[in-house]
Structure 1
């Protein structure tokens, strides 16, 4: 049995499939605990600073983190709640792959269950997919859901 499974989610169809798969693992007793993780991008990765003072950037950054991330996590945890299953939700910020990997390693997860494709197709073309980077760099085993 796996004690702790981390499921990164960005709200994409692929991520929702990973969430569904993890829920089944919990229902079937394969896992003890599921943690859903959303990683918000830093404001400078989305819009740049545009000459804003640091206080303004921080305020806008927190707004993006709370609005988008809370919505994604609310949608992602709904299947667990409907089934009466416990689930933990975490919202962090930073580079998606690096944050997923460091959180999984620091918190001693047994497995990362991740969708094969995210929402940002342009970034995947330019930088490689988050899934690909997590597979290559993580010391925690990774299960890819298509």
Structure 2
């Protein structure tokens, strides 16, 4: 049987935690499995100073990488036969998630229906919507 490769889009929201649980619950049957957990960081707010923006962005990436590393260790202790890859990315969340999926030959992307956007219904509903349109694999939306 082929090993399945799942991509979970994580942003720290309860829904993204639920998406991760759902991914593991539905797809881990003891067989070898690869789970990619990515977090896309983009600093909030208008920054007129590009230096400040990049400094905030890199500190967010660093924090996210630490958080993802802890998640990776927990998952590998809890489940047998899984390989976990984590990465903190920058840029547009919808595009970054879709592109990562294509680049890593992912079988299914698991994403919350909305996450931690400032403009709740509009902005992050649009991330999952964009991923559905751009991805070339199955997408599971958790709500």
Q: 1:121 to 1:78 in 2, by over 3 A?
A: farther
Partners of 2:115 and 2:124 within 8 A in 1: no
User: TM-score, normalising length from structure 1?
Assistant: 0.79
| Distance in 1, Cα, partners of 2:140 & 2:99 | 17
User: How far apart are residue 25 of structure 1 and its match?
Assistant: 4.1
Matches within 5 A, 1:37-116: 37-41=38-42, 43=43, 46-50=44-48, 52=49, 54-67=50-63, 69-70=64-65, 72-74=67-69, 76-77=71-72, 79-85=74-80, 86-116=83-113
Q: 1:104 to 1:126 in 2, by over 3 A?
A: closer
| Distance in 2, Cα, partners of 1:136 & 1:32 | 25
Q: Between 24-33 and 136-145, report the one with greater CA deviation.
A: 24-33
User: TM-score, normalising length from structure 2?
Assistant: 0.81
Compute the RMSD of aligned alpha carbons: 2.5
Partners of 1:10 and 1:72 within 8 A in 2: no
Please list every run of 5 or more consecutive structure 2 residues that lacks an aligned counterpart in the other structure: none
State yes or no: 1:27 paired with 2:23: no
User: What whole-Å deviation, never above 9, does each CA across 1:68-113 have from its counterpart, x for those lacking one?
Assistant: x235525644651440443211111110000000110121111101
Runs of 4+ in structure 1 over 4 Å off: none
Please list every run of 5 or more consecutive structure 1 residues that lacks an aligned counterpart in the other structure: none
